[in-house]
Amino acid sequence: MTPLRIGLSANFIHADPQRPLFKGKTLKFVEQELSQWIMNEGALAYMIPSPSPGGNLPLEAFVQDLDGLVLQGGADVSPLSYGETPMRPEWSGDRVRDEYEISLIRMFLAQGKPVFGVCRGLQILNVAMGGSLFQDIGTQLPGSRVHRDWEIYDQNFHNIVFSQPSHLASLYQNTTTTRVCSVHHQSINTLGNNLVVEARSTDDNVVEAIRLEGPTWAYAVQWHPEWHAPDDNALMDGRILLRDFLAAVKRHKDNEKVNP
């Protein structure tokens, strides 16, 4: 059977004339553990480059050729993308990447192809659907827990609780709370159109998972399931959610064959 072809939205390192490597050039990359996580389930992972303006191959060409989309983590979402001004310069985010990913989200959804967001991926899906974000949890949600600790980074864990009923609860039966890896300082403020909350942080009620209502499978989580060691029973097994995404991708692909 031909492997599923999963597109990964790119991380951007913008041109920097002071950078010793690729001086003055824009770089795009994927985080290795995310791509390996997908490929470990038998799917192929492809980074989706942003085409040059006026080029012969627009983003639609990549969307047409791929079976599903994964939105990876990375830089802040720009407040400008949801109609706000950055409260601090360091929270200005990446407006260029926002526009690229919002375009991808809308194109994949328009074709009925599944979308799965990780960390920033949850935030940009929410913004693409008309929602907004807290620019900084610590500033705008006093008393909240620390969701990103640079010193321990991917070892910063906390509990989440599933909404009842929810798709997440149906996947992880006999489980109401679980432990996840937290590496973010922005979070959902206003929920986007047709989105529902699937999980929250037990400590401060921060939204941790969302689902798009409707015929197209679209889901996003605030944590990094690809960083959860599969043999660590203290953490949520992210493979269950990944397999659900890939099953949705396969269903859509099979349906396209039957109804081209």
49-80: pLDDT as tens digits: 988 877 777 899 999 999 999 999 999 999 99
Catalytic residue among 158, 184, 185, 224: 224
| pLDDT(259) > 90 | no
Task: Give mean pLDDT, residues 174-178.
Answer: 89
| Per-residue pLDDT, 54 | 72
* 60 is an active site residue: no
Q: Give residue 197's pLDDT band: very low, low, confident or very high (50, 70, 90).
A: very high
Nearest-5° Cα angle at 217, 186 to 185: 5
| Per-residue pLDDT, 258 | 81
Spell out the CATH class of 5-258.
Answer: alpha beta
* Cβ atoms of residues 240 and 171 within 8 Å: yes
Task: Give mean pLDDT, residues 129-158.
Answer: 96
| Per-residue pLDDT, 57 | 78
Catalytic residue among 101, 198, 208, 226: 226
| pLDDT(128) > 80 | yes
Catalytic residue among 119, 147, 184, 208: 119
* 181 is an active site residue: no
Q: Which is more confidently placed, 51 or 249? A: 249
Mean pLDDT for the chain?
A: 95
| pLDDT(99) > 90 | yes
Output Rg (C-alpha) for the chain, integer angstroms. Answer: 18
Q: Is 164 helix (H, G, I), strand (E, B) or coil?
A: coil
Q: How far apart are CA 64 and CA 253, in angstroms?
A: 12
Q: How far apart are CA 50 and CA 20, in angstroms?
A: 23
| Per-residue pLDDT, 21 | 94
* 119 is an active site residue: yes
| Per-residue pLDDT, 19 | 92
